[in-house]
Chain A
Amino acid sequence: MTKMLDTSAAPTLSRRSLLAGLGGMTFCIAMGDGTQLVNEAQAAPTAAKQINAWIRIAPDGIITIYSAGTEMGQGTKTTLPMIATEEMDADWSKVRIEMAPPEREIYGYIFMGQRDMAIVGSRATQLYFNDMRMAGAQVRRVLINNAAKMWKVEPASLRTEASFVINPATGAKLSYGEIAAKGEVPKELPVIKPEELKPRKDWRLIGTGVPRRDIPEKVNGSAQFGIDVKLPGMVYATAVHHQTGTPISWNDDEIRKMPGVLATVALPNGVAIVGKTYPQVIAARGNIKVQWNKGQAGGFDSDQALEDYAKVIRDPNADITNLAKKGDAGKAFSDAAEVFKAEFRSDYGYHAQMEPLNAVVRVAKDGKSAEVWEGTQAPDATRDEVAKALGLEPQKVTVNQCYMGGGFGRRSLGDYAAECALIAKEIGKPVKLVWTREEDITNGMFRPQSFQSLEAAQDDTGRVTGWRHSVVGDGGVLLHTGIQIPYYDVPNQQIERRGVSHGIRVKHWRAVGHVFNVFAIESMVDEMALASNMDPIEFRLKNMAATPKARRCFETVAQMCDWKAARPEGRALGLSISERSGSLGAGVVEISLDKKSGKIKVHKVWLAVDGGIIVTPQAAKANLESAIIYGLSGILHEQISIKDGVVEQSNFHDYNVMRMSDLPEVMEVKLIDTDTRPTGLGEVGNPFIAAAIANAFYRLTNKRLRHLPFTEERVLEVLKA
Chain B
Amino acid sequence: MVSFKLNGRQVSLDVPGTTPLLWAIRDVAGLTGTKYGCGAGLCGACTVHIDGVALRSCQTTVSEVANKAVTTIEGLSKDSSHPLQKAWVDLQVPQCGYCQSGQIMKAAELLAKNKAPSREEIVTHMDGNICRCGTYHKIIAAIQTAAKGA
Contacts and interface: CB of A to CB of B under 8 A. Distances in A.
Contacts of A434: 36
B92 A212 contact: yes
Interface in B78-131: 80, 85, 88-89, 92-101, 104, 122-124, 126-131
The majority secondary structure among interface residues of chain A is loop
A633 B40 contact: no
Nearest to A221: B33
Contacts of B26: 228
A382 B45 CA distance: 26
Contact of A354 (B92, B122, B132): B132
A73 B92 CA distance: 11
Interface string B19-45: 110010011001111111111101101
Given A219-B80, A227-B36, A653-B42, A355 B98 contact: yes
Contacts of B99: 354, 405
A652 B98 contact: no
Contacts of B72: 221
B92 A221 contact: no
Interface in A213-269: 214-225, 227-228, 230, 236
Nearest to B139: A660
The residue in B32, B98, B126, B129 that gathers the most chain A C-beta atoms within 10 A of its C-beta is B98
Contact of B95 (A74, A436, A651, A661): A74
A223 B19 CA distance: 25
A276 B140 CA distance: 40
B94 A215 contact: yes
Nearest to A628: B134
Nearest to A212: B92
A630 B40 CA distance: 22
B96 A406 contact: yes
Contact of B134 (A216, A278, A403, A626): A626
Nearest to A623: B95
Interface residues of B, number: 58
A633 B134 contact: yes
Contacts of A659: 127-130, 136
A434 B130 CA distance: 20
Contacts of A212: 92
B35 A630 contact: no
A653 B134 contact: no
Contacts of A220: 33, 73-74, 76-77, 80, 85
B130 A215 contact: no
A652 B96 contact: no
Contacts of A437: 37-40
B133 interface: yes
Contacts of A406: 96, 98, 132-133
B121 to A, nearest CB: 12
A658 B32 CA distance: 26
A660 B123 CA distance: 6
Interface residues on A, range: 35 or more
A227 B35 contact: yes
A98 B128 CA distance: 35
A404 interface: yes
A657 B92 contact: no
Contacts of B36: 227, 356, 434
A114 B108 CA distance: 48
A263 B134 CA distance: 39
Given A215-B89, A215-B94, A404-B96, A221 B101 contact: yes
Contacts of A228: 26, 32
Contacts of B92: 211-212, 215, 618-619, 622
Nearest to B138: A622
A520 interface: no
Contacts of B40: 437, 651-653
A359 to B, nearest CB: 14
Nearest to B84: A219
A403 B96 contact: yes
Contacts of B129: 659-660
A227 B42 CA distance: 19
Contacts of B38: 437, 651-652
A622 B92 CA distance: 9
A276 to B, nearest CB: 10
Contacts of A290: none
A622 B141 CA distance: 14
B33 A652 contact: no
Contacts of A436: 39
Contact of A216 (B73, B76, B80, B96): B80
Contacts of A619: 92
Given A279-B19, A653-B40, A230 B30 contact: yes
Contacts of B127: 659-661
B32 A73 contact: no
A626 B88 contact: no
Contacts of A356: 36-37
Contact of B39 (A222, A227, A282): A282
Given A354-B43, A405-B98, A657-B132, 9 more contacts: A236-B27, A354-B99, A355-B96, A437-B39, A622-B135, A629-B133, A630-B133, A630-B134, A658-B134
Interface of A: 72-74, 211-212, 214-225, 227-228, 230, 236, 277-279, 282, 352-356, 403-408, 434, 436-437, 618-619, 622, 625-630, 633, 651-653, 657-661, 663, 667
Q: Which 9 A-B pairs have the closest CB atoms?
A: A221-B33, A629-B134, A405-B98, A73-B95, A218-B97, A73-B96, A228-B32, A221-B73, A652-B42
